[in-house]
Structure 1
């Protein structure tokens, strides 16, 4: 039953969680919101939130046309997970709150913090592909726009 799409009459909520909420989870949230066009609510949070989005991640996302200026790291709570249809963990490991009955999925992603531009781009491309697959799973009739990474 864990692979069933969310009921067609409601908008699914996904929380993307990593450690600092400054890289992976922010990229996931912004990409999900871009591609979903309002058909999915995407949240991001971290188990030990930092003070800002990692600048190397912000640069790559901004180059793709995604605005990171309103992103501010926030603490992941059990309440956020309980209110979501799915929690996607990305390197927060055992520090992510466990909520009985909540749906979790782990994406083993490299941490982009402090990495060179090519590495950050590779990580964002991995996230992009995973987000696109997830959105089609959650909203089967969603017509995805072309990938931001496919631009010439």
Structure 2
């Protein structure tokens, strides 16, 4: 018989091993290249988005600052009620009526107004709140927290006497 090297099948097997190794190496290399390209693209897209957001932010802020400077020249923003107006709003001690079981809740702190609790009544809408709660609210707002009616008392026109109706 002959040597192992003389066998034609052995040469083909070696040939296929080399081709398989080359194919696997090429496939791994292509995967690495694709991974790197995708990673670089993601980084570029994120940078571009961040630059766009930064540009939008600076543009928006410059517009807002331009708008704010115009508004501040016209009329200062209203940030709540004057403390003298807050102190002029009526106070009373809450007393639950025995005939009605209506439970009144302070919509700011969401707790029930207890019997004998100090309550502030808003003159325009007649809503009731704990004094501490509504006073803190009025440091930053000028309207009722429930209905958004202005809290500053309105001057009501006095009724005229002797109004003649035409019929």
Is the pair's TM-score, using the shorter chain for normalization, greater than 0.5? Answer: no
Task: Identify which of structures 1 and 2 has the higher relative contact order when contacts are C-alpha pairs closer than 8 Å and 6+ apart.
Answer: 1
TM-score normalized with structure 1 length: 0.20
Structure with greater strand share of residues: 1
TM-score by length of 2: 0.19
Higher helix share: 2
